[in-house]
Structure 1
Amino acid sequence: MSTTVSHHAPLTSVPRDLVHKDDPDQVFLSRYERTADDTFAITADWSRAHSLFPVRDRHEDPMLLVETVRQTFPLLCHHAFGVPLGHHLLWEDFRYSTSAAALLADLDRPTTVDLEVTCRDVVRRGPRAAALELVTAVSRDGDHLGTAHTRFTIQAPAVYQRLRLGRGDARSMMDKAVPLAPPASPQEVGARSFHDVTLSPTDIPRRWQLRVDAHHPLFFDHPVDHAPGMLLMEASRQAAQATSRSHLVMAAGMDVAFHRYVELDTPCHVEAHPVPHDVNGRARVLVVMRQEGDERFKALVTLEETG
């Protein structure tokens, strides 16, 4: 598909294709408005979110915050920056920061979440954006929930296929996905069920094989030719939880670098290394993913106790 969606009028309903989702129940964004040349006000609705992102130890899942922010990337590209549907967004880096206090669950609070997104260093190729840097502040009912920062490039389908070197057909790659290895214990990695475990134990301490379930409704809502970034970040959260060897902790921050795609058709190994605490005394874990001898992904996870 190569239709261009480029408007400046507000959206009072966000179509699923503008956030790269097939399941309408996974579309969290509900309203969008350009408030300045480089600033956007976006509203999200979390009323249906807990089926995919359940409350953990009385706190909202930070991955819900991440997914909400992630949905703004294609929305802004297609609706504000002239990027045709069918073009590919290639993450370079991503980081977020929140806190246990900010994400304390309260069923009496509104489910509406507000995002203020500022665009920086927009690189254009003709009439469309070729790269974007976005800074997002997230709040609910006037209270600050967290911040996020990312930069990504955008490639046309023909260029993307050349970059993928024969691995660019999503359905074919999903058919070739490595068989699911036995899962780690859900309690060990802080998952609610075996279905949501993204790690498989190995004989080496703090080393797992990435479990890529091509039928998982969140990570593979639609065909994808590589392991999605949300899957890699959830695996990082689970590896950090397992490494903490304590009661449930929250991934209050994550600083991520995407080096190369994690492929579906060959095993990827996940390593976790405790590193010195941050300036606030919070534990940190460096998670590295390697495949075919290369480092593909790295995440510095900051943990916070929720008790």
Structure 2
Amino acid sequence: MTVTSGPPHHLPAATDLDYVRTVDRTLLHRRALSEVFLTSAVQVDHNRFWAGAQLPPAHPYFTDHLVEGQVIDPLLLLECCRQAETYAAHVFHGVPADGKFILRSWTWRQLGRAPQLPDGPAELAIQVTTSNPQSRDGALRGLDYDMDLWIGDSPVGSVRLSASYLPGSLYGAVRAHGRGGSHPPLSDAADPLHRGAVVAPHLVGRVRPENVVLAGLRTEGEDTVADLRVLAGHPSMFDHPLDHVPGMVAVEAARQLALLVANDRRGSVTRQVVTSLHGDFTRYIELDAPTTLHARRDAEDPDTVRIAVRQPAGDAARITIGLGEVRPAG
């Protein structure tokens, strides 16, 4: 264990974390071992636990960025937090293996300068406090997670995540009811619905075109608008077939559009990094309906971009991205 004790980093359970192997991938709803980053989790009491994750030094999705200094992708840190939440819900709070997880909201805030990706794998420690439990018939139906993230003795950010849990036996009926009676298709059978050309990778801070999730870029009034490009075969975004677009994909699309919209602020996406984000998810993002993202800079803060994720049935999510200049820690 490499986390050294200090004034804010003092819970005894932190010294019990290890980074020797990853946890059972099925407890994280992952099929590929290459997409598992969580290595351990230790419960302190009913409302607190620590989790450890190893950040890969190279990854075809999470380290595919043009940003100077190769800072750690905040979406990689968010994914580690999602894995910690999912593991804890099953192991510490008794959510059944077939339970369905519903993301309601999450918030990321960078602390200090952007953490720089080391030459080798980095060891992340996550200090978690849970609150606001919701139960029905003795089963957990919702929980909030406040997470403080550390690399060594350095705090790198904080995350607040709110999730709901639905019994697997009810999920099909709930999904069909929300769709007016029809059952949703799975991602591996869904048809692409985006229009127009795929956005060039360098405009959204990417190197690989296979990681670009925007197409059909256009202007509508004061908004910059793009279609969501659903990459159903992408090994990180769709590790296994799903019946909706996951929240992480919506956040990635919002991040890409925010970088594009703010590109002229500092002259290049290579000098910009996400320093904060907040997302509220109000309905499932359906795979068989077109999805558009509408972005607009905040009138009072040009480094803040507000994005609405829209489908014909209405807004499915609202995401706010805060951007800052790259100043890697160290």
- State the TM-score, normalized to the length of structure 1: 0.89
Does 2:233 match 1:215? yes
Aligned to 1:64: 76
Aligned to 2:40: 31
* TM-fit CA distance, 1:277: 4.8
- 1:82-93 equivalent positions in 2, closer than 5 A: 82-93=94-105
Could you tell me how far apart the structure 2 residues matched to 1:292 and 1:212 are?
A: 16
Aligned to 2:212: 197
RMSD of aligned residue pairs (Cα, Å): 2.2
Contact 1:178–1:266 under 8 Å retained in 2 = no
- 1:88-103 equivalent positions in 2, closer than 5 A: 88-98=100-110, 101-103=113-115
Could you tell me how far apart the structure 1 residues matched to 2:82 and 2:58 are?
A: 14
Does 2:246 match 1:228? yes
Select 1:178's aligned residue among 179, 189, 192. 192
Q: Percent identity?
A: 24
Q: Deviations over 1:186-206 (max 9, x none)?
A: 111112211011100244251
Q: Which moved more, 1:98-107 or 1:85-94?
A: 98-107
Does 2:145 match 1:134? yes
Aligned to 1:247: 268
Report the AA paired with residue 247 of structure 1.
S
Aligned to 2:295: 272
Question: Would you identify which runs of 4 or more consecutive aligned residues in structure 1 move more than 6 Å?
Answer: 9-12
- List alignment gaps of at least 5 residues for structure 2: 1-15
- 1:146-161 equivalent positions in 2, closer than 5 A: 146-161=157-172
Task: Pick closer, same or farther for the CA change 1:214–1:150 going to 2, 3 Å.
Answer: same
- List alignment gaps of at least 5 residues for structure 1: 1-8
Structure 1 SS opposite 2:259: helix
Task: Pick closer, same or farther for the CA change 1:99–1:186 going to 2, 3 Å.
Answer: farther
Contact 2:41–2:49 under 8 Å retained in 1 = yes
Aligned to 1:47: 56
Aligned to 1:118: 129
Q: Deviations over 1:105-133 (max 9, x none)?
A: 3326x611100110001122344311000
Report the AA paired with residue 90 of structure 1.
I
Question: How many pairs were matched up?
Answer: 294
* TM-fit CA distance, 1:48: 5.8
Q: Which moved more, 1:258-267 or 1:202-211?
A: 202-211
Task: Pick closer, same or farther for the CA change 1:203–1:276 going to 2, 3 Å.
Answer: closer
Could you tell me how far apart the structure 2 residues matched to 1:74 and 1:293 are?
A: 29
Aligned to 2:155: 144
Could you tell me how far apart the structure 2 residues matched to 1:178 and 1:133 are?
A: 34
Could you tell me how far apart the structure 2 residues matched to 1:39 and 1:190 are?
A: 36
Structure 1 SS opposite 2:172: helix
Contact 2:17–2:52 under 8 Å retained in 1 = no
Does 2:116 match 1:104? yes
Structure 2 SS opposite 1:273: strand
Could you tell me how far apart the structure 1 residues matched to 2:42 and 2:183 are?
A: 34
Contact 1:86–1:157 under 8 Å retained in 2 = yes
